[in-house]
Amino acid sequence: MHGGLSLTMGNLYGQMRASSSLVNRLNQKLRAVVNPSPWLSQSRSFTTTEGHRPTMIHKRSLDILHDPWFNKGTAFTMTERDRLDLRGLLPPNVMSTEQQIERFMADLKRYEVEARDGPSDPYAVAKWRILNRLHDRNETMYYKVLIANIEEYAPVIYTPNVGLVCQNYGGLFRRPRGMYFSGEDRGEMMSMVYNWPADEVDMIVVTDGSRILGLGDLGVQGIGIAIGKLDLYVAAAGINPQRVLPVMIDVGTNNEKLLKDPLYLGLQRHRLDGEEYLGVIDEFMEAVFTRWPHVIVQFEDFQSKWAFKLLQRYRARYRMFNDDVQGTAGVAIAGLLGAVRAQGRTMIDFPKQKIVVAGAGSAGIGVLNAARKTMARMLGNNESALESALRQFWVVDANGLITDERENVDPDALPFARKIEEIHRQGLKEGASLVQVVKQIKPDVLLGLSAVGGLFSKEVLEALKGSTSTRPAIFAMSNPTKNAECTPHEAFSIVGDNVVFASGSPFKDVHLGNGRIGHCNQGNNMYLFPGIGLGTLLSGSRIISDGMLQAAAECLAAYMSEEDVLNGVIYPSISSIRDITKQVAAAVIKEAIEEDLAEGYREMDARQLRKLSQDEIVEYVKNSMWSPEYPTLVYKQD
């Protein structure tokens, strides 16, 4: 607020704010006209201890939070948040100054102890802190550093380190980044969304914190995953960083430790469920698409219970996708197709692969559905093909092999339940262990999406040695690193040198002796989701179709040369991520055009898009990618 305006104006504004923050925009324009002495707006006014006089400021919203002179962080009261357009820009729990200091000191002491004792984790967090401080100071330089060193820093800002960051986000939180919508904000979201200063947003990554990687319910601290994903959208896809928005929807937490933690930043109550939960997500989706009709929303780390329901609820109405269900599936499909190529066969042989899947959560079911559809396309894309594809999968969850004899099977997993008569002929039964299934089926692929570290034990890997494949593949895809089903060293040393190995988290290659290397392929979602998002944006597609996702996966699968795949390298180097994303985005655009979904973007309308050749589409994508270069700055007075 300009220094010359009276408190009467401030009180009036506070009353108006209670009804709608849209009114704030009118008040801002009014204040721009009623401009007091210029020296007042340039000087700083401080409150004295004696008088406790209020400080007049000429800022609101993120401008306050990004100004170290006036920022209070989580200590802003709800009244101040309403008055200053801060509601939704901070975690919902208001902290006292004493709590803020206690939280900072607790984090500082914990870091000192961990660093003294010497485990590796604190050094990864230290790197994250240093990068985050650079991000706070100089965004252009931050992305310049990140792009130039993407192979080194992607694991720091994303998998696997982002899990540790989310677990400790309460202590790491300094400045807010993104928006927070909570169960307490029902009825307010349509006005709250206008508190975000950008008039155009291309990409939103949203989480409810219910299933962060394989770490479970981390509540409001899960915003770290949305921030990390969007950093990769900028670095890999060239989405303008001023047009991205990380979002946390805080509907409570069922993590008892957080519920009892006096320093926890989120709502300290159990999670909303049922229609109450859906009401919050519905209101959020309506709000963001009302303000930004062409935005793309990526759902991230929602628990399995809601991941599929929300995907089916929104995908036909909004430009959205779920990375855990669809992104993970696409990367896995690309890897599975690569594994077929590594056997010296063509990708069209994929429907012959016998695949044992450990894990039936949202990621596992997402991969199963995508793999089944891929096989069916290759077999003729009809009901018979879909039925035939089902016979290639054996799904094992925490209760063992899933069959049609089991009661209360998750509806999403039910199509993959094996017929009990068939299973008996294979020497198995309902609830058979993973070891028993691998021994009897002798699969070509052992695919882990269980979030259970070490699940692929010595016994399981020994059983895989009986595989009928000339080159069995092991996909230990669970994140973070500690949740990987096995390590590459275990895979190569137990199953043999000829195995194809992939994981969700990065591992170092294994030296097998005599100059031979066991390649560790990281099946990282960042190979696909930036290209899916960028391709959808530049095509102007109304929705994100299965065909567009399939095109992305097939593009990634074909990216590797024949020589690479025969050497066991089925995923490209992260250092090539900008080029990979460019190619994937072009494939998505091409598919959107063929499905008549493309509506164009900015100057490139749908008619012009349809005239572009493949090379011209790639060039269009390349020219649309943002690069971190300092712009020429010109000051314009209000």
Q: Which residue has the tokens 């506070």?
A: 14
527 is catalytic: no
In degrees, rounded to 5, the angle at the alpha carbon of residue 406 between the alpha carbons of residues 400 and 410 is 85
CA distance 27 to 32: 9
In degrees, rounded to 5, the angle at the alpha carbon of residue 306 between the alpha carbons of residues 301 and 307 is 50
Q: Which of 332, 365, 325 is nearest to 473 (CA)?
A: 332
Annotated binding site for (S)-malate: 211, 479, 524
Phi-psi region of 134 (alpha: psi -120 to 50; beta: other; left: phi over 0): alpha
636 is catalytic: no
CA distance 442 to 349: 17
CA distance 564 to 302: 35
Annotated binding site: 211, 300-301, 324, 479, 524
CA distance 77 to 73: 10
Alpha helices in 299-433 (DSSP H): 304-314, 328-342, 362-378, 383-390, 420-425
Of these residues, 13, 169, 180, 229, which one is catalytic?
Answer: 229
CA distance 387 to 383: 6
Integer-rounded Cα Rg, in Å, for the chain is 26
CA distance 415 to 432: 18
Burial class (CB within 10 angstroms; exposed 0-12, middle 13-18, buried 19+) of 561: exposed
290: CB partners within 8 A, 6+ apart: 190, 193
CA distance 263 to 160: 25
Strands, DSSP E only, in 110-202? 179-182
In degrees, rounded to 5, the angle at the alpha carbon of residue 153 between the alpha carbons of residues 133 and 623 is 95
CB 534 within 8 A of CB 237: yes
Q: Which residue has the tokens 């460019």?
A: 582
Q: Which residue has the tokens 């948040």?
A: 81
CA distance 172 to 263: 12
Annotated binding site for a divalent metal cation: 300-301, 324
Of these residues, 143, 158, 180, 571, which one is catalytic?
Answer: 158
Q: Which residues pair with 521 in a beta bridge?
A: 502
Cβ of 186: how many Cβ atoms within 10 Å? Answer: 14
Q: Could you say which DSSP state residue 386 is in? A: H
Q: Which of 573, 543, 582, 525 is nearest to 238 (CA)?
A: 582
Structure tokens, 571: 């995923």
Q: Could you say which DSSP state residue 321 is in? A: E
**H/E run at residue 634:** none
Give me the phi and psi of 201, to 5 degrees please. -125, 125
At 515, is the secondary structure helix, strand, or coil? Answer: coil
440: CB partners within 8 A, 6+ apart: 426, 427, 428, 432
CB 306 within 8 A of CB 206: no
Burial class (CB within 10 angstroms; exposed 0-12, middle 13-18, buried 19+) of 322: buried
Query: Which positions are annotated as active-site residues?
Result: 158, 229
